[in-house]
Structure 1
């Protein structure tokens, strides 16, 4: 598969594909003239790179996460995936607590939010969650 076809199918600029190759995230198997040629499986790898970045993995983490290919198939490091999922779960809980606090503040009838026992409790809970994130 020509680099132009990979660009067309993924909307990833050729410069980024070359950068991914430089980092060892993807590999071209040959050249046709000056154009890099990729195996069709590169699309799956690029899809995973995009997914992993959206989950918060750095490119260095992704390279480590991919590990060596076995029998032509990429193997992911499951422990890293589980740890990131747990981290995302913690972030979700934090964001839910923040959203609950903001919703309460938006409708709280107290003359001052800082006199409202419910709002003060929500802030204390948010602080506890914040300490766990460090």
Structure 2
């Protein structure tokens, strides 16, 4: 398996070297050694970095991601945690869709005062229920 130095990993992944060192401290990735002063990683670290990026985009903490990656690179996915997070994302999507509808309605509403518009009142009421 090919080894890459920290700069190559940063260039190929788009992850800054400082973030790579931080991920190392959090035990998300491990170098295989050094070439002079530069850390060396197996090229499969790029796959791990993709999983970390995906996990962060999905709202997982680095600790949760580390637990799912396992200590020796053996992925141990917590399916219940994935279901919980997907439900949170679904709620956020519904809230954002409602917010978008409200903004579009407010932009085209002919009422001189939005708080007098029955449709706007319904949208605001539904939005408040989703936020709680």
TM-score by length of 2: 0.87
Q: Where has structure 1 moved over 4 Å in runs of 4 or more?
A: none
Aligned residue in 2 for 1:102: 103
1:37-48 alignment runs, 5 A limit? 37-48=40-51
Name structure 2 gaps, 5 residues minimum. none
Number of aligned residue pairs: 129
Mapping of residues 1-134 of structure 1, within 5 Å:
1=3, 2-69=5-72, 73-131=74-132
Q: Relative contact order (C-alpha < 8 Å, sep 6+): which is higher?
A: 2
User: Structure 2 CA distance, aligned partners of 1:68 and 1:104?
Assistant: 51
- 5+ long unaligned stretches in structure 1: none
